[in-house]
Structure 1
């Protein structure tokens, strides 16, 4: 009788084969190691990856938009309104242009130049006292600032002066034309003054309802102040100014006198006259070049005539060159006198007429 446990037993052999078969099936992955190879499964997987990529792109896009919007709002709220921006008074529709923003090395004074065109001079008062000045703030902390506004002569620019501790921040400025508000109809002086006070009160209330978050791309926040008919309620402009913006020009000296008062002559000299003198210098150089050119021409034609006294063309050109030389010398003299005039100009506070020297502060909600 054979031993059932013998290696030659057929039952034992079959059992070993079955074990190997079971072990083989035990480690087999359905569809292969790389997953299901069915085309439908792979197509579904591709669509899943596509939608995941799209969702990731959407999320990054939204985050990027919010970040960019936040940066843009920060730039708007912390920088000067772009130089060259035309500001339109809301009711009179008169335009003034932000021409320049200046400060000095110690940031003791901030100067904003507003350019008036001929149309705006007909619609707006020429005395600064007829404008109200307001600085809008977003906290109750009192700013150490004094403000004034005046117009240089009857045809010059408007000058806004902010004196004090100029912080590294933007100031929201509101300039309101009060003449339009007080003389909108034929009323007596007493009634006009009463209407002015009411308008000032209503404007203060309106300003308190404004918000920095509503600024447009140029730093304006008052465009919503309209009546039920959609007409402007006040005749004003508003803009931002920052003494530390890249567009702010810095004078390397001081705009203040030793007693702390504004040196108006130096302000006008550095912000306006210096540019005029530079322009006059260039004109003098141009006229000087013309004189030198005609002097060379005269000398050349004189030499030609001396060599050949019968050369009629040379004689004719010589006479023309002499006449042009005289005209060039006259033009040079005129240019030099103009430059000298600019160099001798001097201004003081009286040249700004009746200035507005009260600066109000309004805290926004």
Structure 2
């Protein structure tokens, strides 16, 4: 799909209690207007507020020039592998997929329904977090459980953060002066949620998140990879229910469980004060990332670039440095001075002699959603 279509898009990212929105002119680097509504209980009411804000002359938005409304949807399952124009049938299918993303898809769908009612004259496009990973080979997305059970219940790796991985891998190639189709890249999206993605020739061939966003890297409050028998053990020995285990692994684990802090800045402060749990938690965080880098290097056979992105990836020089420590044998060498410099712009942080270029690339998921939405209706 081309990413060069031009136009004006309203991008909506609807959560259970918040709505992020931007008006994106794809000819400009920055959005024309952006906002965030919090403590949302009624998405229809939230959309009315957004319309009011966009209509205010001070916003500088020509609402009549908007050509499409793009919606982030977390889970597209096997049904949706590309940005899709929303119809009543598409809404129904997104609702059915809520069993795979019960915390996200219902809110995404509520926003779509409200926005379609508010903007009935505009096309609406659903852009799925999972779609970029639809190119995973079967061996990468298949779990080693009974195949009949897996097929019946949709148990497989779907992957997430797809819009970010797509944008950053393509942007990294541009910064290198290369065609994305000609390079192998590992994208590390490190925020409160975190995932790694192996991108070969612009296509996702492996990613760390799986059936849900729980698998993979250590995150702010999610455990990442863990022996599945831990859940069985806790149920049998601690008498924990499925919901209690779900809460433990998704909301009380990760850096929060290890250090007492879900914010990496707090974990660093505690570690600098000599707190053993914080020091250990940071080491585990970086160690897990190193493991995935090595795994994906092996899967792709060669590597041209590594890109750090999202809140932690873009701002935490310690995480970048320690995640790549000891990998000079793979041709990965960090320039320590470049790495510690703060910048809002994309920055090369590897040495001039490093065989693998290492970049810090600010992600722009809203722009990617706008580009994909405009392309879908062009």
TM-score category of the 2 structures, normalised to the smaller one: under 0.3
Larger radius of gyration between Structure 1 and Structure 2: 1
Q: Select the structure with the greater relative contact order (CA < 8 A; seq sep ≥ 6).
A: 1
TM-score with structure 1 length normalisation?
0.21
